[in-house]
Every structure is written in C-alpha cells, then in structure tokens.
Amino acid sequence: MTVADPRVLPIVAVNRATVDAIFAALGRAPVREITLAHGGLVNTVYRVTTSADESYALRLYADSDDRRAADARLTREMRLLSWLARAAGDVPVPRLSVADGSRTQLPTPYVVYPWIDGITLNDCRRQYGAAALTSLAEPLGRLLARISAVGIGDDVMAPPLGEPTSTASALGDADARLASSPARDRLGSIVADAMRATLDAERAALLELDRHRSLVHGDFGGRNVIVRLTDEGTWDVGGILDWEAATIASPMWDVGSLFRYAPRYSADFRASFAHGYRAGGGRLPDEWWRLSRLVDVTRVVRILSEERELPSVFDDCRDIVAGLVDDCTV
C-alpha cells in the first residue's frame, strides 16, 4: 500500500502540564519528552520518557459520537489486561500502571503502562526482510496456541468480553453483503459471486471450526505485534497490543487475521508457524491455511461495505479477496 491507512478517529492532543501532573501523581521521575507514536488507527498513543530514562505508553481511548463507546473500550481492555497478567503471565501484554476513565485530567479515558521496546511485526518485515520474519514464525505459532489455551470460560474471575463471534453468523453476513451491498459493487459481480461460491462450498468445514472456541485477540496482525532483537541476535515477540476487540471464538479467527496479507508469508514461514502452534499445544485443522483465511475474509467483506470511501484500504481488500478466490480454485 502506498497510501497510509486513514485514521478511524482523530488524534487526541495532550498538553505538557497535564502529562507532568499524571506522572507526578504516579510517583515517576519528571517528564523529559512526549512523542506521538504512529501506527494506531483508533486510539492515540504517546511515548513518555522521564528524566530517569524510563519510557511509558500513554494510551488515550478516542471518543466517537457516542462517548460511552470509549468508556466501554477502556473498561473491557483494562479488565482483560489485569486478568491476563494474573492468569496467563507468559502472554506478553501491557502491564497497566494506571487507568482513568474520569476525563478530569484528559479529554478521553486513558491508561499508562511501561513502554514495550521493539518494533511492529510489519516494520520488522519491511526493515529486516524475509529471514527475520521467518525466524518469528514458530514463536508466533506458540504464542497464538498459548492464547487459545487460556481458560477464560472456566475462571469465575475472568472479565466480561464482547459478544462471542459465531462463524455461522459471520458467513451469513458475508453472503448477504456479497449478494447486495457496497462490497459487491467494489469487488465486481464476478469476484463477489466467486467468493460466495467458495464460502458456500467450504461452509461445513468452516462451521466445524466452532467446535473449539477460546479466547481470541480479535485483531491479531502486524500492527499489534511488537517484536524485538535479543542480545543473542535472534528475534522474539515482546508484546501484543490492543486487546479491546478480544472475544470468545474459534482460534482460527486470530490465525486468519495474522495471515490476511497472505503473499507476505512464505511457505517456510507457514510451516514454521504450524510447527510452533502444534508444539505449543494448539489444534490446527489439516486445511488451516485456507480455512482460517476464509473465516477472516468475512471481516474483509465487512470493511468493503463501509459507507465512506477509503480508496487505499479498498484496494488492499480487493486484492485479498481476489487472491483468496484464486488460491481456492487452483
């Protein structure tokens, strides 16, 4: 993509005096620098560095037309992160220092957590190439297997999540949109009908995925995965950000989300990922590569149904759908 993704919600501005007051109340050293972090499309994140050379993320939950939506995103993510820190300590998530939804200091709800050093998986691919990316495949597989094993349904202390994601309802929604909606217009009737036929042909196998449901991140992709180069010169996963879309669903939703841009990932990457996932105790169906992407394409179709015009985003979505149709008809 040559044009940056447009933001869904505008950047929230902060002033130095307010940030100074927040960090003083936390008992941290005086603030030295505040830098806007790039990459998010909904919330606003600043990197705050203190005079003690400690860095923190200041994450603001941007308001939409309904202020309650930001409050709900904060509450859901705050509870989940706090619970994951206790129940699944080996899943690398932000460890909250403070969460405040009062809007008394900043215009939106916010959280502060220690900055997770590293770069996004997307930046690693762009800057360091195929070898670095492939070296992360097995760790990513093991991590997603670990997330899918988190027993959130068995823990009475587990936080409430969004509505569980049903593959059946997602398939029904995608079929309706591919039959008549802006998604059909943007794809063209030939590709839209081919995608409908593919989803219909695979319907039974896709519905089988819901026999195993677990915690899913909900937006597991290159923008939300932080990776880092270790002292030994190898790459590992340093953190998983943006848990506000987490829910209960088939783990294949997260797998498909990771592989949404399929051409980025080589056969070696896919093989190493599958090995790591299974070695980590996760279940992968034999046709996981195709089925996970077909589950995820229902979300791509929903993006294509947006009322507003997003030319660069829609170009990507058309490529994803057309590429999946081609892969499934080979």
Per-residue pLDDT averaged across 213-232, rounded?
Answer: 93
CA distances from 70 to 45, 102, 113, 158, 329 (A): 14, 11, 18, 21, 42
The answer as to whether 5 is a domain residue is no
Provide the strand spans (E) within the chain.
31-37, 44-50, 55-60, 98-100, 110-114, 119-120, 214-216, 225-229, 235-240, 247-249
Residue after which a domain boundary falls, among 114, 145, 165: 114
pLDDT tier for residue 162 given thresholds of 50, 70 and 90: confident
Specify the pLDDT at position 3. Answer: 45
Number of domains the chain is built from: 2
Q: Are residues 160 and 285 in the same domain?
A: yes
Pairing, β 98-100 against β 110-114: antiparallel
pLDDT tier for residue 249 given thresholds of 50, 70 and 90: very high
The answer as to whether 4 is a domain residue is no
Specify the pLDDT at position 318. Answer: 97
The answer as to whether 10 is a domain residue is no
Domain membership of residue 48 as a residue range: 16-114
The answer as to whether 9 is a domain residue is no
Residue after which a domain boundary falls, among 114, 129, 150: 114
Q: Are residues 303 and 186 in the same domain?
A: yes
Q: Are residues 217 and 96 in the same domain?
A: no
Specify the pLDDT at position 235. Answer: 95
pLDDT tier for residue 2 given thresholds of 50, 70 and 90: very low
The answer as to whether 6 is a domain residue is no
pLDDT in tens, 273-285: 999 999 999 999 9
Under a CB-based contact definition with an 8 Å cutoff, are residues 227 and 236 in contact?
yes
pLDDT in tens, 165-196: 899 999 999 999 999 999 999 999 999 999 99
Per-residue pLDDT averaged across 229-241, rounded?
Answer: 93
Q: Are residues 61 and 179 in the same domain?
A: no
CATH number of the domain within which 39 lies: 3.30.200.20
The answer as to whether 7 is a domain residue is no
pTM reported for the whole predicted model: 0.93
Per-residue pLDDT averaged across 125-133, rounded?
Answer: 95
Q: Are residues 91 and 177 in the same domain?
A: no
Q: Are residues 83 and 210 in the same domain?
A: no
As a whole number of angstroms, the distance between CA 1 and CA 137 comes to: 23
The answer as to whether 83 is a domain residue is yes
Specify the pLDDT at position 165. Answer: 85
pLDDT surpassing 80 at residue 45: yes
Q: Are residues 169 and 259 in the same domain?
A: yes
Specify the pLDDT at position 154. Answer: 63
As a whole number of angstroms, the distance between CA 76 and CA 89 comes to: 18
pLDDT surpassing 60 at residue 38: yes
Q: Are residues 145 and 289 in the same domain?
A: yes
Q: Please provide the DSSP assignment of 129-170 as one string.
A: HHHHHHHTHHHHHHHHHHHHT--GGG-TTPPP-SPPPPHHHH
Q: Are residues 80 and 157 in the same domain?
A: no
As a whole number of angstroms, the distance between CA 261 and CA 119 comes to: 19
The answer as to whether 72 is a domain residue is yes
pLDDT in tens, 71-99: 988 998 999 999 898 888 889 999 999 99
Q: Are residues 55 and 123 in the same domain?
A: no
| Mean pLDDT of all residues belonging to the chain | 92
CATH number of the domain within which 304 lies: 3.90.1200.10
Q: Are residues 108 and 126 in the same domain?
A: no
Specify the pLDDT at position 320. Answer: 97
Q: Are residues 59 and 131 in the same domain?
A: no
Specify the pLDDT at position 266. Answer: 96
